[in-house]
């Protein structure tokens, strides 16, 4: 197996790419709040809910965020915990002391030393840690979420969708839920849209370009005059500067912003709350989080990746002795079924989306079916420097920080 040393600083033009929406910004003052030992103690109730009935022991290692980040870490943690509780598997999580490959590797080393033989890792930041540890621990099963071959191998990647023989990695077709969100927003009657991306890495770009394509298609169908502000915050967390930019958007007439960058939603939410605006969440169903923080009914919908579904699929395979069907592979996950949306790895939340008379749940289900059967095609091309559309006006602002 190839093993190279490389930096994970990739061009935004590749098809397989970084996780789009990372967790909140690293906070040096908070990194020692929950050491791996504290994490194990915090999780003792979950781990000891019943005596483990298997020699399978699952550990999750967080990226630079925490299990309360309302994004990748929290969703992955909750999925692992629920599965392990239900199946009476030993489970805990480890939090690196800081944001570096060395610190991530240290926690993987500790998990293995503690007897954990399945390690779940959310986010592209684990690419170098996988390179350093996968061959070192051939008997450990590594499950990586949003770590692509390009993340692992850099410019030398030949995109053969293969990784180390004891590693499975899932990447997602972000352009699909992005399209769904943009289409839904315009069909619901919003004509002043915004896209606030985190860093302009390919997965975020796919979300954004998908959002534009969906809004463009809906505008063509409805004949609505739609304008869309488009920018990146150049980080995965909100702050005063980004909030100020969002204030300008909302006060200038923007009705809803797709906040695509982990904790960057806080800036969109703060600005929306002042202007009675709306927000679209990302990666997971963020309705409870955004509405709970900024006001009920603020979240129109969320463009989601199936982190829980991925965790469940892989842990089920491991428990069922079918790991070999996944080991050594990188899967690009998207729509599985046009009929049963619960099987899909991307989509909108059916329970919390604010359906209305012009875009009902039934309309969404038809949209999914048309995307699944190829009637609607969505491009995942990130080569263009900025998004383009035929039926909507785009105000492209690049990086606002």
- Residues 152, 209 within the same domain: no
User: What's the distance, CA 111 to chain centroid?
Assistant: 24
Confidence of residue 376 (pLDDT cuts 50, 70, 90): very high
Q: Name, in order, each residue with C-beta under 8 angstroms of 401's C-beta and a sequence gap of 6 or more.
A: 233, 234, 235, 241, 242
Domain that holds residue 374: 175-305+338-399
Confidence of residue 25 (pLDDT cuts 50, 70, 90): very low
**Phi-psi category of 161—alpha, beta or left, where left has phi over 0 and alpha has psi -120 to 50?**
left
Q: CA torsion sign, 322 to 325 to 330 to 332? A: negative
- Residues 228, 151 within the same domain: no
**pTM reported for the whole predicted model:** 0.81
**What is the Cα–Cα distance from 182 to 384, expressed in whole angstroms?**
19
Quick one: tokens of 148? 């692509």
- Residues 73, 134 within the same domain: yes
SS3 60: strand
Quick one: tokens of 63? 């990226």
Range list of H helices, 114-257:
127-133, 149-153, 175-187, 202-222, 240-251
- Residues 312, 371 within the same domain: no
| CB of 236 closer than 8 Å to CB of 401 | no
Instruction: Give me the pLDDT at residue 202, please.
Output: 82
- Residues 195, 253 within the same domain: yes
Q: Which residue has the higher pLDDT, 375 or 50?
A: 375
- Residues 362, 290 within the same domain: yes
> Does any domain span residue 225?
yes
Residue 50 has pLDDT above 60, yes or no: no
Mean pLDDT of the chain: 87
- Residues 260, 319 within the same domain: no
Average pLDDT over residues 364-373: 98
- Residues 215, 359 within the same domain: yes
């Amino acid at each position: 197996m190839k093993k190279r040393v490389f930096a994970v600083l990739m061009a935004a033009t590749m098809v397989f790419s970084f996780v789009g929406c990372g967790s909140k910004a690293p906070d040096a003052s908070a990194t020692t709040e929950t050491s791996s030992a504290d994490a194990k103690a915090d999780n003792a109730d979950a781990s000891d809910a019943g005596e483990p009935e298997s020699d399978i022991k699952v550990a999750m290692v967080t990226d630079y965020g925490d299990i309360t980040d309302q994004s990748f870490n929290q969703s992955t943690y909750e999925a692992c915990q629920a599965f392990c509780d239900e199946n009476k598997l030993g489970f805990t999580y480890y939090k690196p002391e800081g944001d570096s490959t060395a610190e991530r590797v240290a926690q993987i080393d500790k998990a293995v030393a503690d007897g954990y033989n399945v390690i779940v890792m959310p986010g592209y930041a684990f690419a170098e840690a996988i390179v350093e540890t996968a061959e070192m621990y051939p008997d450990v099963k590594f499950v990586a979420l949003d770590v692509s071959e390009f993340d692992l191998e850099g410019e030398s990647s030949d995109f053969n969708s293969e990784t180390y023989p004891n590693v499975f990695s899932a990447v997602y077709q972000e352009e699909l839920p992005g399209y769904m969100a943009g289409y839904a927003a315009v069909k619901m009657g919003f004509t002043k849209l915004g896209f606030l991306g985190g860093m302009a890495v390919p997965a975020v770009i796919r979300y954004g370009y998908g959002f534009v394509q969906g809004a463009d298609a809906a505008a063509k169908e409805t004949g609505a005059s739609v304008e869309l502000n488009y920018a990146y915050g150049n980080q995965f967390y909100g702050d005063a500067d980004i909030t100020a930019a969002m204030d300008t958007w909302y006060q200038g007439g923007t009705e809803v912003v797709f906040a695509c960058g982990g904790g960057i939603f806080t800036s969109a939410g703060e600005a929306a709350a002042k202007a009675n605006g709306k927000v679209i969440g990302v990666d997971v169903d963020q309705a409870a989080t955004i509405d709970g923080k900024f006001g009920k009914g603020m979240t129109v919908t969320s463009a989601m990746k199936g982190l829980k579904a991925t965790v469940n699929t892989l842990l089920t395979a491991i428990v069922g002795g079918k790991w070999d069907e996944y080991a050594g592979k990188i899967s690009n996950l998207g729509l599985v079924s046009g009929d049963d949306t619960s099987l899909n790895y991307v989509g909108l939340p059916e329970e919390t989306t604010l359906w209305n008379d012009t875009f009902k749940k039934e309309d969404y289900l038809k949209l999914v079916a048309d995307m699944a059967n190829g009637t609607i095609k969505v491009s995942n091309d990130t080569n263009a420097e900025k998004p383009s559309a035929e039926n909507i006006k785009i105000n492209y602002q690049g990086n606002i920080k």
